[in-house]
Chains A and B, each alone.
Chain A
Amino acid sequence: MTTTIERRESKPARTTANLPTVTPRADVWETAEAAHLAIELPGVPKDGLDLSIESDRLTLTATSKDVTPDGRELRAEWRPTRYQRTFLLTEDADKSGIEAALRHGLLAIRIPRRAEKRPRSIPVSVATD
């Protein structure tokens, strides 16, 4: 019994809890219709990503899949990581219309601007005599 516990403890447990948490790199920009986010999440599969909205906060939590290959490690410039980042939404954001797509380790989020907040061009009628 004691041996089992010791063995279990001596093995480095690679769980989500003890992975380092980092802020992923992101680009954020706006167009007239929407705000866009492009967030780098290398190694994160679709089922490793969690996006949630609470009040005016859009929070992403993601965990990269641990696929450490066999053999001797000669170089390690990155490691399996837990990513976390929160973005604040303004009242212009249409929360119900948010779309997200994860492709090749890049998460693209589109937050549409509420229709009434979009810039409008007002048609000018020309008076004719």
Chain B
Amino acid sequence: MMFLTQRDGLAPLGWLRDEMDRLFECVTPQGDGFVAPLTLHETESAFEARIAVAGADPEKLEIGVEGNVLHVAGEREGMPDDAQRRFTAERFAGHFERALELPAAVAADEVQAHYRDGILTVTLPKAAEARPRRITVQV
């Protein structure tokens, strides 16, 4: 009897929670709340993105380029199941993803990625039409 009463009492809260979930989904489309911080540099011929994903499993890192958008996704392990007492839980675990729109077209076939010390470096050469060209003046 007590159990049923509790369930009924919580029903409106359940509705509110679903609404909140939906709201946060709109604000943070990145999955479990981890927005991998990145830096982006541009030279005449390429972009270089460096994404800080400390602890991400290199086997599960996924990098894709679609048009001029770079997509990065991966997984990070959290505390193990046998953790009996959890004192501090500040890290984000689970699936994460991030998309970055680049200001110019890139050559998707020539994109290179390198993972070291928890930093994923992605080099994206610009598409030929996006590189600065020198125009010879005909005399």
Contact = CB atoms under 8 A, between A and B. Distances in A.
A44 B118 CA distance: 8
B42 A72 contact: yes
Given A30-B83, A40-B54, A71 B91 contact: no
A73 B103 CA distance: 13
Contacts of B78: 27
A72 B38 contact: no
Given A40-B54, A106-B55, A25 B90 contact: yes
Interface in B33-59: 37-43, 47-48, 50, 52-58
Which secondary structure dominates chain A's binding surface? loop
Nearest to B82: A31
A116 B87 CA distance: 22
A28 B41 contact: no
B55 A105 contact: yes
B27 interface: no
B7 interface: no
A70 B54 contact: no
Contact of A104 (B37, B38, B50, B55): B55
A-B interface, 4 closest residue pairs, ranked by CB to CB distance from nearest = A105-B118, A105-B54, A106-B55, A71-B43
Given A31-B82, A69-B48, 9 more contacts: A25-B91, A30-B83, A43-B117, A43-B118, A43-B119, A71-B42, A77-B37, A105-B53, A105-B55
